[in-house]
Amino acid sequence: MKELAPGLWQLSGFPPQGINVYLMGDVLVDAATRRAGRRILRQLEGRQVVAHALTHAHPDHQGASHEVCTALGIPFWVSEADADAAEDPRLIGERQPKTRLNSVIGRVWTGPGHPVDRRLREGDDVAGFKVLDVPGHSAGHVAYWRESDRVLVLGDVLNSMDVLTGWRGLREPKWFFTPDPERNRESIRKLAALEPSLAVFGHGPPLRDARSLADFAAKLPA
């Protein structure tokens, strides 16, 4: 586990930076695939964890949520618009573009549903971070923003590596994982306007260059 900013740690995963999980204060953010539970729980040993929150309910983010919440006895926090899919993962597949790859991912990575204890809304506080609504990649995608030091946990609104090749660099999430690309671009612009000093992603390494994020957003199709 690596500390990226005060109170923000990135858990190790495989492949490195491929599917990221974070500890944000005492809240676990995302839980990778259903095969990641043991690895996540091992890294959390000896740490206080009071809740588990998602950026969004996709198989590579909610996969081990049920296992982690059950093992640690902690509540599950998900945005209002993604809460039903977190509880009933069949809805994840129904809302994704219909491709063979999504069918395979759905079978291999999706974890069991788990009751949602808190439905997150824009402006809510989670471990000192403000919840931001940033839909597009999923209907209820949220990001977490700490204004005091301009740290942003943005999930899959943007990727900092290609999820298929591993090549690094800012990218929109793949169209076949994103039901509403145009709305997601609006969310990218919303987050770029914050000028974060540190942005961390669901896929790819951290970014400490607000200018490159702003430049990327400026070049998006209108």
- DSSP letters for 91-137: HHHHHS---HHHHHHHHHHPPPP---SEEE-TT-EETTEEEEE--SS
Which residue carries 């999923």 as its tokens?
138
pLDDT score recorded for residue 15: 86
pLDDT at 148 (0 to 100): 97
Identify the segments of the chain with pLDDT beneath 70.
none
pLDDT of residue 206: 98
- List the one residue out of 1, 13, 20 whose CA is nearest residue 206: 20
Q: What is the pLDDT of residue 54?
A: 98
pLDDT for position 186: 98
> Phi/psi of residue 29, each to 5°?
-110, 115
Residue 222 is predicted with a pLDDT of 75
**Which residues, including other chains, have CB under 8 Å from residue 28's CB and lie 6 or more apart?**
21, 22, 40, 44, 49, 51, 52, 53, 68, 74
Query: Domains of the chain, with CATH numbers?
Result: 2-218 (3.60.15.10)
pTM (two decimals): 0.96
Compute the distance between CA of residue 151 and CA of residue 129 in angstroms, rounded to an integer.
9
Tens-digit pLDDT profile for residues 4-40: 999 999 999 988 999 999 999 999 999 999 999 999 9
Report how far residue 56's alpha carbon sits from residue 92's, in angstroms, rounded to the nearest whole number: 10
Beta bridge partners of residue 3, listed in sequence order? 9
Other Cβ atoms less than 10 A from the Cβ of 218: the count is: 9
